[in-house]
Amino acid sequence: MKNNLFKCAILCIAILGMASCKQAKKTEEAPKPVIIAYVGGYNGLVDVNKISPDKITHINYAFVDVKDGKAFLTNEATDTTNFRKLNELKQKNPDLKILISIGGWTWSRNFSDAVLTSEGQKAFAKSAVEIMKNNNLDGVDIDWEYPAIPGDKGNVYRPEDKQNYTLMFEAIRAELDVLGNETGKKYLLTTAVGGFQKFIDNTEMAKAQQYLDYVNIMTYDYHPEKQAVHHTNLYASGKYELKQSADIAVKAYIAAGVPAEKLVMGIAFYGRAYTLKKSSSKGIGDPVVEQIRGAGYTYIKDSLVNKNENYRYWDETARAPYLFNFYKGLFLTYDDEESVKEKCQYVLENKMAGVMFWEYSSDPKEYLLNEINKNLK
């Protein structure tokens, strides 16, 4: 009897041990997906009352300029006020991280010159971390569009950018680590990258990723000038020949040596619109006359979808919506709740870090942010 009781006790301990191991393992599993919001400070003062800190994990403040080889606040009074107000959001979400995002489409002109030498790389790194430190922020995001290839008109680029891109991150990481040793805090270093192969070919992503916490893939703005296509599709469409998509980009970055758990998928909170040639009958894949002003998703959903002959269509292969007005020859490509759900599921299935979106104010009613939270939280 005693022997049986002893065996029973041992069995119970073993079962409890296994349960506790399983619980520990569950706790150690991949962290919750990140939800990174780009917030446009270039528009002036940010209305933080229109930001829901409980629905996001990070804010990337766009943008900080590059001038005379250093990170530079173009409107210091406005920017520092925005930093202070954004930091107040931590009262509602203490885990919220706020980063400065340097560059962007317009302000990438001087990256190449700034980080051309090792001295330049160190000076640039110090200036970026100084802005972050002085405003009590949590990290630095680099949005260089683009290393070694043309971006906006007038941008400086050179072949050496390929290696200097990596060395820039090494220098910033070193500065962040020095500060971290002083404060006992872990600071983040992230980057926004082009969602196309040419960006990968002109960088050393396998090396660069060693210094990075997240690699935010801009899986949007896929649009040739002369054809109406999806600008932010999850998969390649079968309705036209151009093969660009989020899936292709993610697989390319993994193949280039970036771990899936560092990759962040981009979601567009805005649409791109075009007028098409009069002979257009399908919308998708038809020839373009010109690109016209697009719109943010709140406006698209409330004022355009299935209204005034702007009919919504769904591309089953691409897992992406589009609007086509046959009578006016108008075409609009965008993300909606259905495509966002598909992207979130893809992120989870492929064990990616999470999602990011451009840009918060484009969807003030938070239709898409609510869908992200529904699927990722």
> What tokens were used for 371?
């869908």
By the 8 A CB rule, do 139 and 184 touch? no
pLDDT of residue 225: 85
CA angle, 28 as apex, 24 and 33 as ends, to 5°? 140
The residues assigned a catalytic role are: 145
Number of domains in the chain: 1
CATH number of the structural domain spanning residue 197 = 3.20.20.80
Q: What is the distance between the alpha carbons of residues 339 and 18, in angstroms, rounded to a whole number? A: 40
Query: pLDDT per residue over 29-82, tens digit each?
Result: 668 999 999 999 999 999 999 999 999 999 999 999 999 999 999 999 999 999
By the 8 A CB rule, do 89 and 67 touch? no
Q: Within a domain: residue 339?
A: yes
Q: Within a domain: residue 19?
A: no
Query: pLDDT per residue over 365-375, tens digit each?
Result: 999 999 999 99
Its domain, for residue 66, covers 31-269+335-376
Q: Within a domain: residue 325?
A: no
Per the prediction, the chain carries an average pLDDT of 93
Q: Within a domain: residue 296?
A: no
Q: Within a domain: residue 358?
A: yes
Kindly indicate the confidence band of residue 26, based on its pLDDT and cuts at 50, 70 and 90.
Answer: very low
Q: Within a domain: residue 328?
A: no
Residue among 123, 164, 126 at smallest CA distance from 144: 164
Q: Within a domain: residue 148?
A: yes
Q: Within a domain: residue 241?
A: yes
